Amino acid sequence: MPAVSMTVNGKAVTGDVEARTLLVQFLRENLRLTGTHVGCDTSQCGACVVHIDGIAAKSCTTLALQCEGAKITTIEGLAAPGGALHPMQEAFRENHGLQCGYCTPGMIMAALDIVRRKGNDLDEHTIREQLDGNICRCTGYHNIVKAIAAGAKAMGKGGPARQAAE
Amino acid sequence: MSATGIGAAVRRKEDFRFITGKGQYTDDLTRPGETRAIFVRSPHARAKIKSIDVSAAKTMPGVVAVLTGADLANDKIGGLICGWMIHSKDGSPMKMAPHPALAADTVNHVGDAVAVVIAETLAQARDAAEKVKVDYQVLPSVTDAAKAKSGPQIHEVAPKNTIYEWALGDAKAVDAAFAAAKHVTKLDIINNRLVPNAIEPRVALAEYDSGADHLTLWNTSQNPHVARLVIAAFVGMAPEHKLRVIAPDVGGGFGSKIFIYPEEVVCLWASRKVNRPVKWTAERSESFLTDAHGRDHVTHAELALDEHGKILALRAKTIANLGAYMSTFSSSVPTYLYATLLSGQYDIPQIYCEVDAVYTNTAPVDAYRGAGRPEATFVVERLVEVAARQMSIEPTELRKRNFVKSFPHQTPVIMTYDAGDYNASLKKAMELADVKGFNKRKREAARNGKLRGLGYSTYIEACGIAPSQAVGSLGAGVGLWESAEVRVNPTGSVEVLTGSHSHGQGHETTFAQLVSERLGIPIDNISIVHGDTDKVQFGMGTYGSRSGAVGMSAIVKALDKVVAKGKKVAAHMLEAAEGDIEFKDGKFTVAGTDKSAAFGDVALNAYIAHKFSGQELEPGLKETSFYDPTNFTFPAGCHICEVEVDTETGKTAIVNWTAVDDFGTVINPMIVEGQVHGGIAQGVGQALLEGAVYDKDGQLVTGSFMDYTMPRAHDLPSFSVGLTETKCPSNPLGIKGCGEAGAIAAPAAVINAITDAIGTEQLTMPATANVVWQALQRAQPARQAAAE
């Protein structure tokens, strides 16, 4: 089996994987980072979104071997080492932007990518359009939209904010 | 109101683990020596299995076992059952066909499992599954509810594919009322088939402990105790005490995770056979093919009114598609959860409803968010709206003329409404929605070439299904009470073990709010434990918006016992008579004195037992309760949907949504609003986007998120949500329940709005751009005539 090396949440990792191993399988099964979820087979739901070299990607549609040498950030890598939450995580909690929690890691990782691309001052229309690749069945999106707007704003104010994939 | 008590918008205790990726869903768990299962599924809607050749699969790398329906039958593993008996009009019992967990002779829907491959890795199991050779003789099939009775007979026990022909109400009285009516409104309605699609797919992880001859199942369940009961008592997998079912974090259910599924049975059986843990995780395509679907009714409904718009009677004839097999509670959905709600919020003197439930070669159909009540609400609210339009009465005025205004109110279809104020929620919703300004907005939209419409849905639902005696008399195989155990630790912290199950509802927060309020202790000193049959006494789980009304009532009852026992302990500590001890704000006080003991001190004294003898009082502070309600609860409200239809494309945009609901007491308004939002989204999904479609050969053509339109963020507006409150008199907290309201109310509100906009009532769900555009073309001459 080929070997693969990458940096995940700041830590160098290596593993032997079958060529067909998906990044999400490598994260979940080899590294036991189970915060990244799988909700569909067709790259639609976005529960599996992680950052590859700072850009959001669906880890269910990425081979682990494609990520040789890449820097990966998962939901587990967002909070500060001391445990302080990332402002986007905090915004999801504060705005009740999650119910069952299953889509949440992907939502938060996608939200950070919206901020990266669209800035800290996000209107409702922009957020709703940009969330096209993430499906939530619980919240009706109302509070997710609020959370992303608030999280983006909080990130702009600096504070404890850390751009996820930096 | 305290900062963490009843009524406070407390931020959720469970969120930290979910937003940091530390949730523990079933697929996140792994057991030493775990194997992976892949099911071999039928590609045909109906076929005879002539032979299965597993020899090539068995020699594939990593394969541990390949098991078939014949092996399952040889091991005398029982089939799955439906736990609610419905009798037909002629008195005959429903025709429940055998449902083996792996089909051995015939397959009856695409996705019906015929074999399972167990291998070291998922990839190996998948590779080997492709080598299983099944020789099928394809048989004719039927998928359409309306055609089921004339289709090929699927099960030997059910001629004409008819499961039951059931009726409720007084047909003769209804016929008489219709004969005397001045106006009759008639509608043909298709309530479209939906796929629940919780974002977490179903998972089963089974482990056999040969030393103890004991099985453990981790699964994605809304009700682990019921799963254990069915798998033990009916499937016969193991005695109840030799089977533990654990449902850890569950990623949404919406009904679909109530039921007991073949894969759970097969993983348990296989884990014992191979003596290793076996895990199966559904792919989304398997979820589409095998999760119990929802709705799928074909209905003809009629409403009789007098010349003033007073409703005299309602009658409906429904064909309900239950799919290829009877799922766990499927029989109850189109009967006692449907016809009993056909009175809506209205005083309707006579109602008669016939329901024929049929088998088809499709995935089983069972409860999906609302379960029967969305179907009933759609019938009633469409009839009322159309009747008002036909009689040129304002739709809100016709509703007001017919609202139930005094309580308790006995409907002709079993229910006794206990409390409500339907005018209040309608009035408040009309204010919030700025109905007065609608005509102006409509004119502005017209200038932009858009058609605006306003649609109402004044819905009612029945939640917290109970009492057990009553549901037993209607055919339920189980009781519908709930249990709770409150364990006070010696240090005064509290664990509540509840039979309810949280899969997104936030029980760890709301249940703790109740305990904090009642015991006067910080919310951080309270843990809620659920979802494990080894930890929690038998409980009934979460569905039908029952956790507040029934689950929390059980906790109240146990808390009352804790306080009563605490008073006994405090009396010994404070050297006072038990009758003189008062409990308030976390303190036991001798009435009229300043002598008191804090809750934590009383807890410690209950355990060290130094102040009383064992003859006087048992040590410890732990109480248990089983709570059986006295009635259903009746949440109700008014949803107003405002749409704008693009006449060029037929695309509907929801521009305003107003919901005013009466849920009785609200524990946490933030969580309640979230439930309303989510419910509306699913209801809008049904109305505009979602529909499971089988082709004529029984293939599910909407089998993925690429073909089945799930509501995305840009399909929905933000919602304006308000509350009115009448307390529910049937439980100690006055709670009615909020989990299903949005999904129940929304479809009728959307379709009433679009039909208002486009001027024709001929509109089927989902009202996609294509459907609306076609309706617009049909309606165009009439619209033009009206404009001229």
CB-based contacts of A125, cutoff 8 Å, min separation 6: none
8 Å CB contact between B662 and B420:
yes
For residue B708, give the chain A residue with the closest CA: A44
3-state SS, residue B167: strand
The rounded distance, in Å, linking the Cα atoms of B219 and B203 is: 6
Q: Is B55 exposed, middle or buried (0-12, 13-18, 19+ CB in 10 A)?
A: exposed
- Check whether domain B481-627 has CATH 3.30.365.10, yes or no: yes
The rounded distance, in Å, linking the Cα atoms of B643 and B466 is: 38
- What tens digit of pLDDT does each residue of A137-166 get? 999 999 999 999 999 999 998 654 444 433
pLDDT along chain B (788 residues), means of 10: 90 98 98 98 98 98 98 97 97 98 98 98 98 98 98 98 98 98 98 98 98 98 97 96 98 97 98 98 98 98 98 98 98 98 98 98 98 98 98 98 98 97 98 98 96 98 90 91 97 96 96 97 97 96 91 97 98 97 97 96 98 96 96 97 97 98 98 98 98 97 97 98 96 96 98 97 96 92 69
8 Å CB contact between B333 and B476:
no
- What tens digit of pLDDT does each residue of A101-126 get? 999 999 999 999 999 999 999 999 99
- What tens digit of pLDDT does each residue of B449-502 get? 999 999 999 999 999 888 999 999 999 988 899 999 999 999 999 999 999 999
For residue A146, give the chain B residue with the closest CA: B718
Instruction: Give 3-state DSSP helix, strand, coil % of chain B, rounded to 5.
Output: 35, 25, 45
| Interface probe, candidates B15, B281, B508, chain A, greatest A C-beta count within 10 A | B15
Q: Options 3.50.50.60, 3.30.365.10, 2.60.40.420, 3.40.50.720; which CATH number does B415-463+632-788 get?
A: 3.30.365.10
Predicted confidence at residue B2, as pLDDT, reads 81
Percent of chain B scoring above 90 in pLDDT: 97
Residue B339 in tokens: 């016809």
Q: Which of residues 269-308 of B touch A (CB under 8 A)?
A: 283-285
| Interface probe, candidates A1, A137, A148, chain B, greatest B C-beta count within 10 A | A137
Domains recognised in chain A with CATH numbers? 3-77 (3.10.20.30), 87-156 (1.10.150.120)
Can you say whether the dihedral through the CA atoms of B488, B490, B492, B493 is positive or negative?
A: negative
Which residues of chain B lie closer than 8 angstroms to A100, CB-CB? 198-200, 249-252, 503-504
In terms of phi and psi (left: phi > 0; alpha: psi -120 to 50; beta: otherwise), the region of B648 is: alpha
8 Å CB contact between B576 and B612:
no
The rounded distance, in Å, linking the Cα atoms of B20 and A129 is: 25
Q: Which of residues 60-119 of A touch B (CB under 8 A)?
A: 74-76, 78-79, 85, 89, 92-94, 96, 98-105, 108
* Strand bridging mode B652-662 / B720-724: parallel
Predicted confidence at residue B466, as pLDDT, reads 82
Neighbours of B725 (CB within 10 A): 17
The rounded distance, in Å, linking the Cα atoms of B207 and B205 is: 7
Q: Does A41 touch chain B (CB under 8 A)?
A: yes
The rounded distance, in Å, linking the Cα atoms of B92 and B88 is: 5
For residue A40, give the chain B residue with the closest CA: B284
Contact B681 A41 (CB under 8 A): no
Same-fold call for B415-463+632-788 versus B481-627: yes
- Residue among B544, B509, B547 at smallest CA distance from B528: B509
**Domain spans of chain B, in order of start:** 415-463+632-788, 481-627
User: What are the DSSP calls for B104-120, one per residue?
Assistant: SSEE-STT-EEEEEEES
CB-based contacts of B469, cutoff 8 Å, min separation 6: none
8 Å CB contact between A101 and A63:
no
For B744-763, what is the HEC assignment?
HHHHHHHHHHHHHHHCCCCC
The answer to whether the peptide bond before residue B467 is cis (omega within 30 degrees of 0) is: yes
User: One-letter amino acid identity for B285?
Assistant: S
Contact A140 B716 (CB under 8 A): yes
Residue A37 backbone phi and psi in degrees, to 5: -110, 165
Residue B738 in tokens: 């909020």
- Residue among B196, B369, B200, B218 at smallest CA distance from B283: B200
Q: Does A123 touch chain B (CB under 8 A)?
A: no
Neighbours of B607 (CB within 10 A): 16
- What tens digit of pLDDT does each residue of B134-168 get? 999 999 999 999 999 999 999 999 999 999 999 99
Predicted confidence at residue B619, as pLDDT, reads 98
CB-based contacts of B540, cutoff 8 Å, min separation 6: B223, B225, B226, B478, B479, B480, B481, B482, B483, B499, B546, B550
Residue B255 in tokens: 């009904």
Can you say whether the dihedral through the CA atoms of B372, B373, B378, B380 is positive or negative?
A: positive
Ordered strands of the B350-358 beta sheet:
B162-169, B350-358, B311-321, B297-305, B183-191
Radius of gyration of chain B measured on its C-alpha atoms: 28
pTM above 0.90, yes or no: yes
**Longest C-alpha distance within chain A, in Å?**
47
Which of A49-53, A81-85, B395-399, B528-532 shows the lowest mean pLDDT across its residues?
Answer: A81-85
Contact A135 B249 (CB under 8 A): no
Predicted confidence at residue B616, as pLDDT, reads 93
In terms of phi and psi (left: phi > 0; alpha: psi -120 to 50; beta: otherwise), the region of B539 is: beta
For residue B718, give the chain A residue with the closest CA: A142
Predicted confidence at residue A89, as pLDDT, reads 98
Q: How high is the mean pLDDT of chain A? A: 94
Tell me what ipTM this predicted complex has.
0.97
Contact A101 B680 (CB under 8 A): no
Contact A102 B252 (CB under 8 A): yes
In terms of phi and psi (left: phi > 0; alpha: psi -120 to 50; beta: otherwise), the region of B327 is: beta
- Residue among B540, B542, B532, B549 at smallest CA distance from B503: B542
User: One-letter amino acid identity for B241?
Assistant: H
Predicted confidence at residue B779, as pLDDT, reads 84
